Amino acid sequence: MKSSETVRIAAVGDLHCTKASAGTLKPLFSEAAKAADMLLLSGDLTDYGLPEEAHILAEELAVARMPVVAVLGNHDYESGKAEEVTRILCEAGVEVLDGEACEIEGIGIAGVKGFCGGYGKGALGPWGEPAIKTFVNEALQEALKLETALAKLRTDCKIALLHYSPIEATVRGEPEEIFAFLGTSRLEDHLVHYPVDVVFHGHAHRGYPEGKTMNQTPVYNVAKPLLQRSWPDRPAFRLVELPRPGDPPIM
């Protein structure tokens, strides 16, 4: 039963749905539907970015009788069929965001895959070989997509949904030498200029479940393998409650 005071958000990423996943994700989505008002999926929805995998995921999601919003992850691009994967999921009722925003239950959601590149002083700069400049430009373009999506939000409560992490805190636990490939603080810059209530991301399977941006916005790493390892006795999604629009903030 929906609460009159709060909106409940279930978030999980890195499902890595394969051709053998049929029947394995339905229990998770059923639990999410009981616990939450909406489901957010933070990328790596499929394992190899194959249409067959997307069809299986769509079938599994049929039990989640609530709004579902998603972004793609790097795995969803592996086979060069990201557009087809997106189409299949959209036809199943999933709203897939790529630099866009949507509104559900009066809460605005800005979604983008994001990219890597490193954090703070360790962020790679666009200098030197053309290949380096191309790499950094991809990070800049994904950050601009996030800025565009955030600027569209007009709701009191706002969510940012990403695949790559905007902060270093939630990738700690991974080998330090790969931090630069797990996200970039270029994403965080826009989350400071356009504040949100909560950020969800995935990608870092061995990272840390939570952290905060420099302006103290909570950031949750909802990679499914991390959630399963951190809380093996709970369903593998993060549940967050936000004030229902029109109500005073929860103290």
Compute the distance between CA of residue 15 and CA of residue 223 in angstroms, rounded to an integer. 8
Is the pLDDT assigned to residue 250 strictly greater than 60? Answer: no
Domain 6-243 superfamily per CATH: Metallo-dependent phosphatases (3.60.21.10)
Domain limits, the chain: 6-243
Q: Which residues of 48-79 are buried (b: 16+ CB within 10 A; e: fewer)?
A: bbbeebbbbbbbbbeebebbbbbbbbbbbbeb
For residue 142, give the nearest of 176, 117, 125, 159 by alpha carbon.
Answer: 117
pLDDT confidence of residue 184: 97
Compute the distance between CA of residue 232 and CA of residue 246 in angstroms, rounded to an integer. 36
pLDDT confidence of residue 1: 52
pLDDT confidence of residue 106: 95
Measured in degrees and rounded to the nearest 5, phi and psi for residue 217 equal -80, 130
pLDDT confidence of residue 2: 59
Compute the distance between CA of residue 107 and CA of residue 230 in angstroms, rounded to an integer. 28
Mean pLDDT of 199-219: 98
- 130-152 and 185-193 helices cross at what angle (nearest 10)? 30
- pLDDT tens by residue, 22-37: 999 999 999 999 999 9
Work out the pLDDT band at 249, boundaries 50, 70, 90.
very low
Calculate the CA dihedral of residues 192, 194, 195, 199 and round it to 10 degrees.
-90
- pLDDT tens by residue, 152-191: 999 999 999 999 999 999 999 999 999 999 999 999 999 9
Query: What are residue 71's DSSP bridge partners?
Result: 42
